[in-house]
Chain A
């Protein structure tokens, strides 16, 4: 579904991604790990079309379409979802209004009629239960005054509502206590199917205990320098990144 070839990107003339290659197929879970500043969040930002970043080379195909040519909203309609590391607070815009607009824009994209108010509320209720998101939160403004854990659960709730084909979870585990982590992870697992895929960006093995990856990639200095099975995550947890850094730096 996703084919990234030699992707390069910069922010304010600083080159961050220096040639990423990655292929994701339906049903797969990929974990991307790596030390701070290696470009993990940049990758998710570039894939979702954050205007702050400039793509300087390479290509990304999503179900055969040139992803980089699409607007962020059309990428979402095509089935790409990003769970933000730092979800944005939007005072004055209620979760209900936000979600209804998002859902109906997608339906419009596919030439469908807007969802009726009753059907929409039913869907909200159903999906909210997946991440045990309180009804009170759903009636508040988007992320406003939410705790760290509530914000992350809200991200997964939105994912459940939008039913993406590819979800990128950017450090979804940061700022979560064990209980919240379990709820979020089980939410992600509930939504998993043979037709969708997940990219999990994380620092820690911890999340991968709950969301089992098929592949683990190490990102360092803007490139994927190592790819292996889930056992790599355990090795990294034990040994840290230094041995990989040394290996890569000595090759340069």
Chain B
């Protein structure tokens, strides 16, 4: 059994249709993607970097693929209201596999370019040609599959020297009334000394269907650029997500990526950062709160390819019930890269004996005169602290919640967007209190996901 086969067959059968419905640019990489997929297999549980995760099983489900680009009726802008206070973002939506802009998008005019690939291919052909697929690795079969089937995507471009006033928010919503796989694709190019903050929220409105988001995000941070990319998932137990974020950092750029999983079904997040310029700074943060049968697996790879750059990585997991967490993090310092500073940490709290955490920190260093460290720990709640709180009248459940919240607080405090930081503290509080519905930002009264 090879789960990829059904999608390759689909491509072979509908190749003309897929290509007709896509900008020509996307078609240029399909051939190469198809070659990479010839004879490829998805990793099974237990293979390298997939110690806890069975991708084959995730893709084996029979998802619908919207080859015909049929429009879905619902306009998410009508039903979705984000209420992150004081954030006043420029808001964009994708529902299932199609992008929509909202009236707030106009706030960006003259500053930031946000266009679907179909438009960007006409408006910015040079940038699209130069950077689409420039970072993503087709050797990863899920990336190859995305490249093979993707028909549109979102292009975000901040021209040189432009500091975006407002954060940009992209809300991805699954609400199709059928089991469905989508290939989300985002390309972000931030010019020299430009800056932007992005908040990406993944939501699922229909809790009854199986969805798979097989996404690829490419971020290019030019010289001196600053990019904040907050990636938050609040979906449902039936939602699966395989995400690969690729980052190319030039000299003096500063990139922060923060992956937050509050509610999900299955999630695999790959982060691949190439630090290609001196004095570049990378912050890679992750926070997972998982209960029930949630499965969250992160793999990070930071390659320091230039001297005098630094990275700082911290992933925290709080696991309860039968949740499974996994973290595999690798820092690579290439030869002739002195004065690199790279720190990696992964701390995990297992709140129940049935919760499982797999962790694998790795350092690979080929230069002397660097400062690197990694640390990994799995533990339980501090019994002494629990008792201390109980003697003050704080009930056991509340005491546990406070300690779990405290555990992830420093990851939230790493957020460089105050309104979002406050909002996250609030959402996490609700999450631990069990009162976070599928999407706290959403006006839809979806069924709460445990």
Contact = CB atoms under 8 A, between A and B. Distances in A.
Interface in B361-403: 382-385, 387-396, 398, 402-403
Contact of B390 (A49, A52, A84, A91): A49
A106 interface: yes
Chain B residues touching A, majority SS: helix
A71 B389 CA distance: 12
A49 B387 CA distance: 9
Given A72-B387, A88-B384, A88-B385, A102 B392 contact: yes
Contact of B407 (A72, A92, A101): A92
Contact of B393 (A52, A87, A88, A106): A106
Which residue of A49, A91, A109 has the most chain B CB atoms within 10 A of its CB atom? A91
A178 to B, nearest CB: 27
A141 B409 CA distance: 12
Contacts of B410: 92
Nearest to B410: A92
Contacts of B269: none
A162 B403 contact: no
A76 B407 contact: no
B interface, size bucket: 20 to 34
Contacts of A50: 387
A90 B389 contact: yes
A73 interface: yes
A102 B394 contact: yes
Given A88-B385, A92-B407, A98 B392 contact: yes
A91 B388 CA distance: 13
Contacts of A141: 406
A73 B406 contact: no
Contact of A84 (B388, B406, B407): B388
B118 interface: no
A27 B391 CA distance: 22
Nearest to A106: B393
Contacts of A77: 393
A73 B396 contact: yes
B335 to A, nearest CB: 39
A236 B345 CA distance: 53
A34 to B, nearest CB: 22
A82 interface: yes
A103 B394 CA distance: 8
Contact of B402 (A49, A82, A101, A103): A101
Nearest to B388: A88
Nearest to A141: B406
Contacts of B409: 92
A73 B387 contact: no
Contacts of A52: 383
Interface in A95-113: 97-98, 101-103, 105-106, 109
B162 to A, nearest CB: 37
Given A90-B403, A93-B403, A101-B398, A76 B391 contact: yes
Given A87-B388, A98-B389, A101-B402, 12 more contacts: A49-B390, A51-B387, A73-B391, A73-B396, A77-B393, A88-B382, A90-B389, A92-B403, A92-B405, A93-B403, A98-B394, A102-B392
Interface of B: 382-385, 387-396, 398, 402-403, 405-407, 409-410
21 contacts: A49-B391, A50-B387, A71-B390, A71-B395, A72-B390, A73-B391, A73-B393, A76-B391, A76-B393, A77-B393, A82-B391, A88-B388, A92-B406, A98-B389, A98-B402, A101-B394, A102-B393, A102-B394, A103-B393, A105-B394, A105-B398
